[in-house]
Structures are given as C-alpha cells and as structure tokens.
Amino acid sequence: MAWNMVVGVLHTFRRRLTVRQVIQFSAVLPPVIRALFLEQWNPDQAVAGFGTEAQLLEEVRSVRPAHNFSPQNAIAAVARALRGRVDQAEFDRVLAELPPEAAKYWSGDGVA
C-alpha cells in the first residue's frame, strides 16, 4: 500500500513539471526515491496543471488502482516523510524555482 502511494504522489507531481524541472527536482532526491520518481517517465508527455486537491488525489490513486488504498492525506504524508530524508535547503531552493504550486504540494500541509 505504501509503495503505490509513494509512486502515485511522485508521478502525479512529475506530470506537472517540464523536462528541465524534472531533472532539477530529481537531483535533490535520495537515490531510491529518485529512481521511483523517474521510472516510466515519458519526457514528451504534456505538462499538466496542478488542479484541485481532489483531482491530484484521484491521480495518486490511479497508480495500480486495484492495490492502491491511498488515504485522503496521501500527498501530505509522503511530503512529510520525504522532507525528513532530503537536504532541506536544497529541496526548498529547487522548489522555489518551480511553479508556486510545487512548494504547496510538498509542504506536508496538503495541497488545497
């Protein structure tokens, strides 16, 4: 369950970034999380808008839907866990270079 939730949160975020932004963000991730973030990436995929919290959660839950039981706070929970595993200054520096919604996504407070 946790694996699907983490992959869903990472891939949902990735769809909102340009190729350059994906590379910037991935550079501040720990190696295994970076691999999950980049797995099955299609750099030619159109960049999606952030949308609502409900839309983002629906997308998170679309990863392996038969086995994905991500709770309502999935994005915030993964954000809090990830923030404990990265260099905070570098993470925040990269987020500041991304769309404004990126910092909210990874705030750990929810995205709405």
Give the tens place of pLDDT for each residue, 49-81.
Answer: 999 999 999 999 999 988 888 999 999 999 999
Task: Note the pLDDT of residue 59.
Answer: 97
pLDDT at 112 over 60: no
| Residues contacting 81, CB < 8 A, separation 6+ | none
What CATH number labels 2-105?
1.10.490.110
pLDDT per residue as tens digits for the range 7-24: 999 999 999 999 999 999
- In 3D, which of 66, 83, 78 has the Cα closest to residue 13? 78
Angle at 72 between CA 103 and CA 50, to 5 degrees: 35
| Domain boundaries defined on the chain | 2-105
Secondary element (H or E) of residue 9: helix 2-14
pTM (predicted TM-score): 0.94
pLDDT at 46 over 50: yes
